[in-house]
Amino acid sequence: MGHSKSIFKAMDPFARLVEMLATTLLWHYWLPVLLLPLGIGLVIAKESERRLAGKVLLVLLVIAIIAQPSSLDTSVEGWSLHLLISLIGPIAAILFGIWLTLFSGPIPVAPLPRSVRPFGFALMILSAAWFAWMLFEARPAIDGIPNPWWQHFVTSFLTVLVVVAGFATAFALIMGDSRLKEASVMALISITSFVLLIYLLAEGTNSDDPVFWRSASWGALGDLGGMLFGSGFALMIFITFVWLGEKRMGVPEPVEPLSKEEATTIRGIISTNSEVEE
First to last CA, the chain: 107
Within-domain flag for 263: yes
In this structure, the answer to whether residues 34 and 105 fall within a common structural domain is no
Rounded distance between C-alpha atoms, residue 272 and residue 262, angstroms: 15
Closest CA to 56 of 67, 66, 42: 42
Number of domains in the chain: 3
With respect to residue 20, please indicate whether it lies within any of the assigned structural domains. Answer: yes
Q: How far apart are CA 204 and CA 213, in angstroms?
A: 7
Residue 112 and residue 62 share a domain: no
Confidence of residue 46 (pLDDT cuts 50, 70, 90): confident
- Are 135 and 177 within one domain? no
Q: What is the pLDDT of residue 141?
A: 83
Q: What pLDDT, on a 0 to 100 scale, did the predictor assign at position 191?
A: 92
Domain, as residue range, for 106? 88-139
| Residue pLDDT, tens place only, 121-157 | 899 899 989 988 988 888 888 877 888 888 888 888 8
pLDDT per residue as tens digits for the range 193-223? 889 888 888 888 877 778 878 887 777 777 7
* pLDDT tier at 11, thresholds 50, 70, 90: very low
- Residue whose C-alpha is closest to residue 73's, from 138, 22, 143: 143
Q: Rounded CA gap, 253 and 270, in Å?
A: 27
Instruction: Give the per-residue pLDDT at 266.
Output: 84
Distance CA 212, CA 203 (A): 11
Q: Is the dihedral of CA 77, 78, 84, 87 positive or negative?
A: negative
The pLDDT of residue 4 is 42
